[in-house]
Structure 1
Amino acid sequence: MVIILKQAWGSQGLTSDQASNCFCITPPALEYAGSVGALHAFTAQGAHVSVASFQNVGIHLSLKGACHMPGKFEVYTDKAGEFRFRLKASNGQAILASEGYKTKASCLNGVESIQKNAPNDARYESKESKSGKFMFNLKATNGQVIGTSELYESAASRDNGIESVKKNAPEATVVEVTA
């Protein structure tokens, strides 16, 4: 659950769909406890503070990540002129990258394939590199690799990366960026 003071919505960049998954309170609900008191009350319940501003903007608290903010696919042109995408989690960390595509339409089809295949455990191939680091590929139904992870120091971190793709990809937005 995310708790957001109503006047802080715009500054949080929430879409109406994301806001509908959040519980909102008005400033008077926090006034009796005071902003700092409210912060302590929420952190005592295991809250993770993702954004905190106690002035006129308000406070935004995320209770154990229950209100998920989707990631995004960044589509860009590489130095060789090919189209690529990378999936970034809601925290901004890149969690999956594509191969190069000759056309933007093909690249966007790759994004759609990621979104379709990401929830399916059978589509992930967990691997260990020659250097002893861990990674994974996400494959389409035809077995073709459609996304590759970064290298991780441990198998557990790699597995967390897979879970992050499963969580972020299906609802991720697509944005065009410069490389």
Structure 2
Amino acid sequence: MTLADMAEQLGRSVGWLSQVERDKSEPSISDLRQIARLLDVSMSMLFGQSTAPVDEQGYVVRAGARRKMGSSEEGLVEELLSPDLTDDFEVVHSTFLPGAKIGKPNCRPTQEVGYVTSGKLDLTVGERAFTCAAGDSFRIRGEFHTWANPYDEPAVVIWVIAPPVY
């Protein structure tokens, strides 16, 4: 697949895709999903590798060594809390910046549980709308869902997702 072919399918310019390829620009999570789908690979193939000491690899993820996933372009910053993606689930730390909102409803073949550690997040699952605050948790089972943080402070959510999608 050429850069022009991929750019056309992504709805992006060849220049933007070239910058991503050369590490001059960071794609958003949505961009990464589309790229992985086009390349028929898991999203984790598009992330950097862990820099953990050999005796900690597969066991411990230090706060400063989390694998970042995508850019904050959409107002969402995600980091992998799981040591790797070899388990039946993954754990992700998501920070939804003030004003962040997903562009279109998302649906994936997973079961997910989220726990809000701080802030508030508006969540729509199917036809139901919720506002979840610190201490609240929620579940999504392969349903269309959207999220938004129209509030003045970041919302931080810990997700457990099975099977892993990144």
What is the TM-score of this pair, normalised by structure 2? 0.30
Bigger helix fraction: 1
